[in-house]
Chains A and B, each alone.
Chain A
Amino acid sequence: MRRSFLICPMFDVNRIATDFERRSSLNSTEAAQTLVKALRGAGIDLVATLPDINLAELLRAVEESHEIIHVPVCREEEGMGICAGAYLVGKKCAAIMQNGGFFNSNNAIVSTLLQYQIPLLLLIYYAGDIGDRTFSTTGSLTEPVLQALGIRYYIMRETDDAPELIRRAQIMTEDSKRPVALLLTKELLGRRPALKAL
């Protein structure tokens, strides 16, 4: 009895998610292309990255862009230094990572970016968001840590809004000379259906 319950599609939330992900490979490719175009539109020309499975299409699109210098790092904190150095000589930079990587970067964010008043667009994949089965602790502490650092952040769920939001965030980071974070959700990245409630 129990077994038949588990394989019944109506009640198997994992299966629903998997079906969406299977259908949505096109969505995530399109979302990635929209985001990279948006980064270019905001003038970004150097991007430091470290992968997460949900960022795979986005990082591929960054790698394929001939207009963006792509620096794959081994640890996210390096990216804060690379972007700071590149900014000081005239590049517009972004760092793409998971929120665990944002935690890894905190010393550099505080004692380099904030201390020297250096702008940087942080594109942080929001692991542990509502509906995720992993990284709930990382997810629950992401926004409080951003708040504690005084970093203004916006949660991105609509791919259509991405170009304008990225453009505005780049203006904000340049104007305030502080990092600004955009939290990238699975919905934005085309890996989960969007909900009107979020």
Chain B
Amino acid sequence: MQRFECLKKLAQVAGDALVVSSAGAVTLEWNALRPSDGNFRVRTLGLCSSIALGMAMGLPKRRVVALDGDGSLLMNLSSLPTIARMKPKNLLHIVFDNEVYEASGSKQTATGAGADLVGLARAAGIKNALWAESVEAFAQIAEKAMCGDTLTFIGVKVGTEREPVAPYPIDEVENKYRFIRYVEKTAHVEILKTNLPASYN
């Protein structure tokens, strides 16, 4: 299965969901398919699931999607029991499992040696955790998760193909500001406040 084909299906149902993506090619592919200031690129390997959890808890009425990888999730497995404990209904956690550290020279990860990420998610307490066995199955589960109100974890076994797409157009700080301004505008919250100068007091 190809990651890019799955991402195309997700883009059809993503709407205005906030999307947090793990370090690596998945970020570039997603941004090519759904360019938006509601996309947030993660640079700390492993932190994607935790950042997405924080967003989902901070904005419970907004759909949040984590685009995680096997190497990334393996580094932050303890986020699974934390997500299960907090149970955010608006979080969809997707893991594209290509069984290698794709961005770091394609050495095999532990999933290539048999570790089962969906099994780990279930054992951590995420009841609605399942493997998508085809692009169509992925599309169905993703659509259901985007419309429903259940914490969902989807594992997808994918190949190591990369789609030739443009590089990420902005740096980390610009990504932060654009993302915050996008949330302010679309969720009607005030996040960045500038105080009046002291001379106004």
Contacts and interface: CB of A to CB of B under 8 A. Distances in A.
Interface of A: 46, 69, 71-75, 77-91, 93, 107-108, 111-112, 115-118
B54 interface: yes
B51 A90 contact: no
7 contacts: A69-B57, A71-B82, A80-B47, A83-B54, A85-B55, A116-B43, A116-B176
State the main secondary structure of chain A at its contact with B: helix
A112 B43 contact: yes
Given A46-B57, A116-B172, A78 B76 contact: yes
Contacts of B52: 85
A108 B45 CA distance: 9
Contacts of A82: 50-51, 53-54, 57, 82
B60 to A, nearest CB: 10
Interface residues of B, number: 40
Contacts of B85: 72
A89 B43 contact: no
A74 B82 contact: yes
B100 interface: no
B176 A91 contact: no
A21 to B, nearest CB: 31
Interface of B: 18, 20, 40, 42-44, 46-59, 62, 76, 78-79, 81-82, 85-86, 172-173, 175-176, 179-180, 183-184, 187, 189-191
B47, B78, B189 interface centre (most CB from chain A within 10 Å): B47
A89 B47 contact: no
Contacts of A118: 176
Contacts of B183: 88-90
B58 A112 contact: no
B81 A85 contact: no
Contacts of B180: 88
A57 B45 CA distance: 33
B82 A78 contact: yes
B91 to A, nearest CB: 10
A111 B44 contact: yes
B172 A85 contact: no
B176 A89 contact: no
B82 A117 contact: no
Contacts of B54: 46, 71, 81-89, 91, 93
Nearest to B86: A71
A74 B81 contact: yes
A107 B46 CA distance: 10
A148 B54 CA distance: 27
A65 to B, nearest CB: 15
Contacts of B172: 115-116
A75 B189 CA distance: 30
A88 B55 contact: yes
Given A91-B58, A115-B172, A73 B18 contact: no
A93 B53 CA distance: 14
B78 A81 contact: no
Contact of A85 (B46, B51, B76, B190): B51
Contacts of A89: 18, 54-55, 58-59, 62, 183, 187, 189, 191
Contacts of B59: 89-90
Contact of B78 (A71, A74, A87, A116): A74
A78 B76 CA distance: 8
